[in-house]
Chain A
Amino acid sequence: MVPVGACLGLSAVLFAIGLIGFLARRNIILMLVSVEIMLNSVNVSLAAFSQHLGDARGQVMALFVIAVAAGEAAIGLGLVLALSRNKQGVNVEDVTRLKW
């Protein structure tokens, strides 16, 4: 068995990297990819708890997270496509119409 504490530490570090990527990158597509990294780190946590408790339900929950991540990718990239039709480039700093 993998020690659950080490898995949770790995999950925390991966989540923080995804968080930094989401907050710091300017490209919207890479911000969406950072969200995928965060969702994946949560899956590591769920699998670690599933193994620690000897219960398969954590893995089922991780499957649902993967399904939601797929939906998020489809919707997010559809939004980026609609945005890139109306504006040049995909930088978040150019998208300020709803900001103030």
Chain B
Amino acid sequence: MSTAGLVIFYYLAAASITSAILAITRHKPIHSLLWVLALFLHVAGIFLLMGAEFLAAVQVIVYAGAILVFYLFFLMLLDLPSEAAAPRFSAHWPLSVVAGVAFATLIWYARDIPAALVPAAAGGPSSGNVATVGKSLFTEFAVPFEIVSLVLLSAIVGAVVMAKRKTEP
């Protein structure tokens, strides 16, 4: 890969990690969600750099455009004024940080193994174009694709049922 590409990749990676850390540490939930938006857009850039154009588009449209806006709408409509004053982290947060750092360390030392075991394909990033993904999605993965539509349908119905229910406190 060219030096410019590597520089862009390391910028996107550093920005993603910074946005993710800010997202989980901000006091106000709205600020957290906006940092997650920055994270998703930078990850979409990484997908573009890896030749996964369709995945980058879906990341921007579905993740940043739909899921995150859904979270923002929900947060603003729910209106929780007491949240801003309450402590952000639970009492056991150092243990959580230890667990996360241990996990990242383990994977960090394993990250070069896949490249050593399986050589890179000669074709390279050309495999990521929209036509290839679409063909694979509608031929080889046609049945899982339909099942995913059922999963989404049941999720919609489940969310409506869950949100409609009125119970006495």
Cross-chain contact of A9 among B5, B111, B122 (Cβ < 8 A): B111
Contact with B along A13-36 (1 / 0, CB 8 A): 111111111011111011011101
- A10–B115 contact, CB under 8 A? no
A-B contact count (CB 8 A): 273
Tell me how many residues of A have a C-beta within 8 Å of chain B: 78
**Interface residues in chain A, defined as those with a beta carbon under 8 Å from any beta carbon in chain B:** 1-21, 23-27, 29-30, 32-34, 36-37, 40, 43-44, 47-57, 59-60, 62-64, 66-75, 77-82, 84-93
**Interface residues in chain B, defined as those with a beta carbon under 8 Å from any beta carbon in chain A:** 1, 5-6, 9-10, 13, 16-17, 20-21, 23-24, 29, 32-33, 36, 39-40, 43, 46-47, 49-52, 54-55, 58-59, 62-63, 66-67, 70-71, 74-75, 78, 80, 82-83, 86-90, 92-93, 95-97, 99-101, 103-104, 107-108, 110-112, 114-115, 118, 120-128, 132-133, 136-137, 140-141, 144, 148, 151-152, 154-156, 158-163, 165-167, 169
